[in-house]
């Protein structure tokens, strides 16, 4: 009887979708062109990556639409078998002034598990009413001889931190850029471990640490560092990361997507962060695409976690006084991220169930005093960058800002309460945030607010089985 029971348990485990042989990872590479009078898409290639699809089958469909773009994989019966929201660099570029003057083409990739047969990949773009419109459709056929089945140059992946099989965990890849061969051997692993520690120092990541695997890949560069065109620094780094994206001196992105995806293909990942080898303050985050951080800056721990939250859960920036490259939207609509809103009716708030009982809506806070302090800091920051002063002076300014802001916000009447605080999403008036301070609001030494923590935990739940070793 015991033998039969044991055999039955084994068969049950093998019958689970998680225990089946995972499909290979497929990638659709394409171009997106925009500018005056045009938004167009064109096919580049369909690639079969060298590793299996790393995610759970139950995570194939997002529970609710998120992102300014979404793509669906539709099988031959018309059924959606995979869906993801995402925010490509293109979506940010079209909000800058440059889009009215020039045309630009961006390379992008959509990754998904191999379909069982013929299928279509359909891209949808969010419209002004918050819904989605189809903008491009491409047919794929597993029998197509022109699918790129070649093997990209092999990269050595390291296990920074592993807690289980990829299909049962959230898999994060830390991809180095601007590291020489010698630095890849010693400095990069140390940097990767330090960034992982920074992530797991914040909730909900602290209590969910064993739901993650952290991987690392470091393609060697000819010289240390990455490009910073505003100061005349240019590097041909393997991943192509650079400061000054869209004219913002602190914004680090790569526009070498094809090269980046081939390098990254040698590690299992759902989420990818580029660790750039340098000390100048900078980073960036694109929902379900990538995030970046300059690892040697004194605020690198904060930057890594903040930018990762953009990439991981689509959390919006809650600050509104720092300069950005984006222009104000022509029309204010309810934003899709979980942590910002235009809504002032408590019964309709996204986070109404988390509101502190009795808190006023909107919630008073020392907004004018904060803005006066911030304006002074931003003016000093601009002078430091214009004069190309040493980074130590910028770090000292940020420390001064952190000390002053923390003291002001912590002493406010409604500190540490969930309410509706005016000022967020790069706008002083139209948008509101859940708490007076949060890791998405400032560089202050505070955790994610409760609304952000809930959004982050939801993503962990979707990708991880929650099993503990």
| 401 occurs within a structural domain | yes
Q: Is the dihedral of CA 257, 259, 262, 265 positive or negative?
A: negative
| 466 occurs within a structural domain | no
- What is the torsion angle, in degrees rounded to the nearest 10, for the CA atoms of residue 95, residue 96, residue 97 and residue 99? -70
What radius of gyration do the chain's Cα atoms show?
23
Phi, psi (rounded to 5 degrees) for 207 = -80, -10
Strand partners, 33: 40, 105
Domain end call among 314, 336, 358: 314
**Token code pair at residue 190:** 């140390």
- Tell whether 301 and 358 lie within a shared domain: no
Q: Give me the CATH number covering residue 223.
A: 3.40.390.10
Helix or strand or coil: residue 419?
Answer: coil
Q: What angle do CA 14, 19, 21 make, to 5 degrees?
A: 110
- Tell whether 97 and 214 lie within a shared domain: no
- Tell whether 303 and 434 lie within a shared domain: no
- Tell whether 176 and 234 lie within a shared domain: yes
pLDDT at 325: 64
Burial of 259 (0-12, 13-18, 19+ CB in 10 A): middle
- Tell whether 126 and 175 lie within a shared domain: no
Cis bond upstream, residue 204 (ω within 30): yes
Helix or strand or coil: residue 325?
Answer: coil
pLDDT at 448: 98
List alpha helices for 314-435, DSSP H: 367-386, 391-410
205 within 8 A of 199, measured Cβ to Cβ: yes
- Tell whether 196 and 115 lie within a shared domain: no
- Tell whether 197 and 98 lie within a shared domain: no
Burial of 193 (0-12, 13-18, 19+ CB in 10 A): middle
| 202 occurs within a structural domain | yes
Picking from 254, 191, 204, 266, the residue whose alpha carbon sits closest to that of residue 227 is 254
Q: How far apart are CA 135 and CA 128, in angstroms?
A: 14
Number of domains in the chain: 3
- Tell whether 127 and 255 lie within a shared domain: no
Burial 336-358 (b: 16+ CB within 10 A, else e): bbbbbbebeeeeebbbeebbeee
- Tell whether 202 and 83 lie within a shared domain: no
| 400 occurs within a structural domain | yes
- Tell whether 181 and 306 lie within a shared domain: yes
| 5 occurs within a structural domain | no
264 within 8 A of 177, measured Cβ to Cβ: no
Neighbouring CB atoms inside 10 A of 132's CB total 18
Report the length, in residues, of the chain.
469
Q: Strand 132-140 vs strand 157-161: parallel, antiparallel, or unpaired?
A: unpaired
Q: Give me the CATH number covering residue 27.
A: 2.60.40.3250
| 79 occurs within a structural domain | yes
Phi, psi (rounded to 5 degrees) for 323 = -70, 140
462 within 8 A of 59, measured Cβ to Cβ: yes
Contacts 24+ apart (CB under 8 A), 370-373: 370/321, 370/405, 370/408, 370/409, 371/321, 371/428, 373/401, 373/404, 373/405, 373/408
Q: Strand 290-294 vs strand 271-276: parallel, antiparallel, or unpaired?
A: parallel
| 145 occurs within a structural domain | no
What does each of the 469 residues of the chain score in pLDDT, given as a tens digit?
433 433 333 333 333 444 578 999 999 999 999 999 999 999 999 999 999 999 999 999 988 879 999 999 999 999 999 999 999 999 999 999 999 999 999 999 999 999 999 999 999 999 988 899 999 999 999 999 999 999 999 999 999 999 999 999 999 999 999 999 999 999 999 999 999 999 999 999 999 999 999 999 999 999 999 999 999 999 999 999 999 999 999 999 999 999 999 999 999 999 999 999 999 999 999 999 999 999 999 999 999 999 999 999 999 999 998 767 666 777 888 999 999 999 999 999 999 999 999 999 999 999 999 999 999 999 999 999 889 899 999 999 999 999 999 999 999 999 999 999 999 999 999 999 999 999 999 998 899 999 999 999 999 999 998 754 3
Domain end call among 79, 112, 140: 140
- Tell whether 48 and 97 lie within a shared domain: yes
Picking from 287, 305, 284, 272, the residue whose alpha carbon sits closest to that of residue 194 is 305
Q: How far apart are CA 26 and CA 56, in angstroms?
A: 15
- Tell whether 178 and 35 lie within a shared domain: no
**Token code pair at residue 465:** 């089985």
Picking from 432, 430, 330, 314, the residue whose alpha carbon sits closest to that of residue 95 is 330
Range of 39's domain?
A: 18-140
- Residues 6 or more apart whose CB falls under 8 angstroms from that of 449 comprise 339, 418, 433, 434, 435, 437, 438, 439, 440
Domain end call among 113, 140, 167: 140
Q: How far apart are CA 262 and CA 221, in angstroms?
A: 16
Q: How far apart are CA 418 and CA 435, in angstroms?
A: 5
Number of helices (H), then strands (E), belonging to the chain: the values are 9, 17
| 332 occurs within a structural domain | no
């Amino acid at each position: 009887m015991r033998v039969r029971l044991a055999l039955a348990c084994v068969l049950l485990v093998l019958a689970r979708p998680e225990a089946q042989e995972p499909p290979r990872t497929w990638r659709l590479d394409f171009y997106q062109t925009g500018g005056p009078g045009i938004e167009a898409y064109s096919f580049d290639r369909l690639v079969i990556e060298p590793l299996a699809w790393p995610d759970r089958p139950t995570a194939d469909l997002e529970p609710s639409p998120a992102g300014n773009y979404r793509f669906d994989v539709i099988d031959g019966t018309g059924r959606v078998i995979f869906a993801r929201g995402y925010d490509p660099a293109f979506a940010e570029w079209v909000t800058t002034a440059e889009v009215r003057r020039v045309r630009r083409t961006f390379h992008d990739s959509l990754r998904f598990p191999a379909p069982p047969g013929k299928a279509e990949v359909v891209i949808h773009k969010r419209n002004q009413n918050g819904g989605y419109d189809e903008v491009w459709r491409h047919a794929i056929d597993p029998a197509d001889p022109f699918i790129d089945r070649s093997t990209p140059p092999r990269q050595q992946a390291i296990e920074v931190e592993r807690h289980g099989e990829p299909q049962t965990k959230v898999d994060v890849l830390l991809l180095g850029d601007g590291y020489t061969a010698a630095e890849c051997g010693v400095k990069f692993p140390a940097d990767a471990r330090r960034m992982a520690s920074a992530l797991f120092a914040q909730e909900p990541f602290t209590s969910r640490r064993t739901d993650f695997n952290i991987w690392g890949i470091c393609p060697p560069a000819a010289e240390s560092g990455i490009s910073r065109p505003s100061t005349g620094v240019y590097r041909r780094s393997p991943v192509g990361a650079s400061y000054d994206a869209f004219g913002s001196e602190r914004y680090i992105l790569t526009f070498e997507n094809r090269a980046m995806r081939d390098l990254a293909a040698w590690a299992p990942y759902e989420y990818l962060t580029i660790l750039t080898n340098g000390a100048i303050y900078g980073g960036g985050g694109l929902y379900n695409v990538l995030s970046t951080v300059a690892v040697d800056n004194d605020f690198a721990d904060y930057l890594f976690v903040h930018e990762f939250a953009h990439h991981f859960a689509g959390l919006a920036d809650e600050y509104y006084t720092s300069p950005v490259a984006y222009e104000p939207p022509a029309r204010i609509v309810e934003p899709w991220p979980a942590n910002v809103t235009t809504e002032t009716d408590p019964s309709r708030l996204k986070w109404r169930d988390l509101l502190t009982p009795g808190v006023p809506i909107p919630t008073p806070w020392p907004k004018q005093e904060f803005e006066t302090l911030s304006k002074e800091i931003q003016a000093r920051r601009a002078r430091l960058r214009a004069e190309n002063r040493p980074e130590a002076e910028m770090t000292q300014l940020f420390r001064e800002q952190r000390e002053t802001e923390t003291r002001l916000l912590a002493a406010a009447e409604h500190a540490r309460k969930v309410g509706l605080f005016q000022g967020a999403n790069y706008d002083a008036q139209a948008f509101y945030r859940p708490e007076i301070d949060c890791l998405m609001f400032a560089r202050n030494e505070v955790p994610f607010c409760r609304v952000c923590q809930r959004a982050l935990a939801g993503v962990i739940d979707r990708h991880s089985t929650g099993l503990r070793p």
